[in-house]
Amino acid sequence: MTDTIYRENILDHFRNPRNFGPLTGADASHTEANELCGDRIEMQVKYATDKGKQTIDEIKFQGEGCAIAVASASLLTDHVKGKSVTEVRTMDAGNITKLLGIPLTPSRLKCALLSLEALHKTLDLVKNSSK
């Protein structure tokens, strides 16, 4: 049924989201919600320092939402593991669309970006508190 955006990989990431669950000993966490539809994503991150650069060592998410929001969070968390915080900070809608691999209308793009927003705000928390 490829006339919809619900390709097999999207449904797979929705039904079996990767990195889903609580992260014990997280360095920072933030929840982003879209009250309009009930989508809610909480990001939790643990950092490591690699050659002086801060990287994302472990990352997990929790929450609920539509297939696009959940699949996006699943793909995003997989993608950023081990990456530098600086690089992740520069990620934008284009990166998310590429990860999902499907065309998104403006209204569904909002769903897809929820996890990135939550992640960016999580990273901001550490930035504000660290030296």
Partner 1 sequence: MNIPSVKKDFPIFKRKINKKPIIYLDSSASSLKPQSVVDAINDYYTRFSVNIFRGVYTLSEEATARYEEARNETASFIGAGNPSEVVFVRNASEAMNLVASSWGRQNVKKGDEIVSTVMEHHANIVPWQEIAKEKGAKVKYFDITSDGYLDTRNLDALITKKTVMVCLTHISNVLGTINPIRQLVKKIKTLNPKTLVLVDAAQSVPHMNINVGDLGCDFLAFSGHKMLGPTGIGILWGRYDLLDSIPPYQFGGDMIKEVHLYGSTYKEPPHKFEAGTPHISGAIGLGAACKYLKKIGMENVRNHEKELTRYALSGLSTIKNLTVYGPKDSNDKGGVLAFSLKGIHPHDLASILNSDNVCVRSGHHCAMPLHERLGLPATTRASLYIYNDEEDVDALVEGVNKAKKIFGI
72 and 115 Cβ atoms separated by less than 8 Å: yes
CB of 41 to partner 1, least distance (A): 13
CA angle 75, 77, 79 (to 5 degrees): 65
Rg (the chain; Cα; Å): 14
Which segment (18-26, 33-41, 92-100, 113-121) binds partner 1 by CB under 8 A? 33-41
Residue 26 as a binder of partner 1 (CB under 8 A): the answer is no
CB of 71 to partner 1, least distance (A): 10
Q: Out of 23, 43, 68, 73, which residue is the one contacting partner 1 (CB under 8 A)?
A: 68
CB of 102 to partner 1, least distance (A): 11
Closest listed residue to residue 74, CA positions, set 130, 5, 36, 21 = 21
114 and 32 Cβ atoms separated by less than 8 Å: yes
Interface residues toward partner 1, by CB under 8 A? 1, 3-6, 11, 15, 35-39, 65-68, 108, 111
